[in-house]
């Protein structure tokens, strides 16, 4: 039986503009699904039903229909404050926090005509690559409820995959959009550094964190990307190059171009811990490469030169970023989870010279990576090294082991943030009956040149045209 969530975000947008739907219709449909399904999957931590209904009325009354996301439901990631909405940052430290001001990204999405239904789950301060905090139930991939959804945009990914939202904004500082997208069978897009006005990355240490979309199709991801790009005037002295013409949605719809692809399984984390690529991840990569070749693309192998200092310097910046978490007293520190408390302690003990050295080294690494990967149009890696991990798999007590486990799970994401490059997770298929966990999604990661989002979207669109079946979990 047809239901509204079976429409893509772009199809819903078209129905809204044709008068076949009103924003309140979508709001009520998704609120009903959230009420029925959310307790099983852990997507939402806050549901603002009445506020969403009022926002739908405001959009109809006050927002021009030309707004890029007019009438489409979304949700705020739990790390992004909305005035008057409980925002915990995934931490017991902020369990009842009601922010007085909204984040810039929230304001821009409101101005774009989107309607927030609440907040989606995230791990404590967005630091881990899985969404299992002590302040909310875990986010579960809807394809296997005993498996985690990844992180840190885990709740957003679950909401989209389970049909609780048409698409959702996330943020990505080391893979936090791409990891949960891969675990939930979605398209996840990390934009280039300097692409999004409300989250350029230029104002963060090492420029790691940028916002981006999680969606069921490449075109839906492009629709949200266009809205994020056009949401506000640019306020920095530099921004990502734009070699394409027109909106990104055009590239996603046309799906044009023939590309030189480089297939890469090496990672700068080699030497830090043992990294084993699961058979399911290799199968997804092999399937993707064969499909790209059938589409007429040229494929070569590519190896990232060894970078034995990468782990030390990336960890330094990650720890330094945690040092600013506002937990000062012993009672406040006791509310933090062991991994966060360890990162905070390590970060606050760092000498300024270590951080300065790390930032300088990572800048040089960025240039080396861009120069090396620039020999091809798009780099293809596995999205994850393993299937979605069982709930509780990451060590909750030993932070060093926990960090190593995260690297083993997702060794190809963080270096893309350091290099400031765009990257897109593309779902390829479900694991087979012979897998350790049958029927869960596996995908690949596409890495573009600086400002190369249009090429990633075009290649993803070509894959979707050749493989029109979509991955849907039982809740669909």
> Any idea which residues carry the catalytic annotation?
77, 152, 176
Is 354 in a helix, a strand, or coil? helix
Please give the Cα distance from 441 to 182 (Å, whole number): 7
Q: How many helices (H) and strands (E) in the chain?
A: 16, 11
**Helical segments of 297-351, H only:** 310-322, 330-334, 338-349
Structure tokens, 273: 């811990």
β-strand pairing of 298-301 with 378-382: unpaired
Please give the Cα distance from 149 to 420 (Å, whole number): 25
Please give the Cα distance from 21 to 338 (Å, whole number): 47
List the beta bridge partners of residue 187.
215
User: Which among 263, 167, 145, 183 is positioned nearest to 222, based on CA atoms?
Assistant: 167
Is 445 in a helix, a strand, or coil? strand
User: Which among 324, 397, 391, 348 is positioned nearest to 93, based on CA atoms?
Assistant: 324
Is 430 in a helix, a strand, or coil? strand
User: Which DSSP string corresponds to 128-190?
Assistant: SSS---SSSPPPB-TT-TTBB--SSSHHHHHHHHTTS-SEEEEEESSSTTHHHHHHTT-EEEE
Name the strands in the sheet holding 115-120, side by side, starting at the edge strand that comes first in the sequence: 44-47, 115-120, 73-77
E-assigned strand segments in 320-411 = 378-382
Please give the Cα distance from 49 to 468 (Å, whole number): 34
134-151 in b/e form (b: 16+ CB < 10 A) is ebbbbbbbbbbeebbbbb
């Amino acid at each position: 039986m047809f239901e509204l969530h079976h429409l893509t975000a772009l199809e819903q947008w078209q129905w809204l503009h044709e008068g076949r739907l009103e924003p309140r219709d979508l709001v009520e449909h998704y609120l009903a699904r959230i009420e029925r399904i959310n307790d099983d999957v852990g997507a939402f931590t806050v549901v603002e039903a009445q506020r969403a209904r009022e926002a739908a009325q405001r959009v109809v009354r006050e927002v021009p229909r030309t707004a890029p996301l007019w009438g489409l439901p979304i949700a705020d990631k739990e790390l992004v404050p909305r005035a008057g909405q409980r925002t915990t940052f995934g931490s017991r430290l902020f369990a009842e926090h009601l922010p007085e001001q909204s984040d810039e990204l929230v304001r821009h999405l409101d101005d774009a005509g989107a309607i927030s239904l609440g907040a989606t789950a995230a791990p404590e301060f967005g630091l881990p690559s899985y969404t299992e905090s002590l302040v909310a139930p875990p986010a579960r991939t809807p394809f296997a409820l005993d498996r985690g959804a990844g992180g840190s945009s885990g709740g957003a990914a679950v909401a989209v995959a389970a049909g609780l939202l048409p698409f959702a904004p996330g943020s990505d500082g080391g893979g936090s959009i791409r990891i949960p997208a891969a675990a939930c069978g979605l398209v996840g897009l990390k934009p280039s550094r300097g692409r999004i006005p409300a989250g350029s990355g230029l104002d963060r240490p090492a420029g790691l964190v940028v916002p981006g979309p999680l969606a069921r199709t490449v075109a839906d991801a492009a629709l949200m990307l266009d809205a994020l790009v056009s949401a506000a005037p640019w306020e920095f002295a530099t921004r990502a190059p734009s070699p394409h013409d027109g909106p990104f949605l055009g590239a996603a719809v046309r799906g044009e171009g023939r590309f030189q692809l480089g297939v890469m399984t090496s990672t700068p984390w080699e030497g830090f811990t043992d990294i084993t690529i699961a058979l399911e991840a290799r199968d997804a990569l092999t399937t993707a490469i064969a499909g790209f070749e059938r589409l007429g693309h040229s494929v070569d192998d590519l190896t990232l030169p060894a970078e034995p200092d990468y782990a030390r310097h990336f960890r330094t910046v990650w720890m330094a970023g945690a040092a600013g978490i506002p937990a000062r007293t012993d009672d406040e520190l006791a509310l933090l989870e062991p991994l966060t408390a360890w990162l905070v302690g390590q970060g606050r003990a760092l000498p300024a010279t270590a951080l300065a050295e790390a930032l300088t080294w990572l800048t040089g690494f960025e240039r080396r990576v861009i120069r090396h990967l620039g020999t091809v149009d798009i780099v293809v890696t596995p999205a994850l090294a393993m299937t979605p991990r069982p709930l509780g798999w990451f060590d909750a007590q030993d932070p060093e082991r926990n960090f190593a486990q995260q690297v083993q799970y997702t060794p190809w994401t963080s270096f893309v943030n350091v290099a400031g490059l765009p990257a897109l997770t593309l779902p390829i298929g479900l694991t087979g009956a012979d897998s350790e966990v049958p029927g869960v999604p596996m995908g690949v990661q596409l890495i573009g040149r600086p400002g190369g989002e249009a090429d990633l979207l075009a290649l993803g669109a070509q894959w979707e045209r050749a493989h029109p079946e979509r991955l849907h979990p039982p809740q669909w």
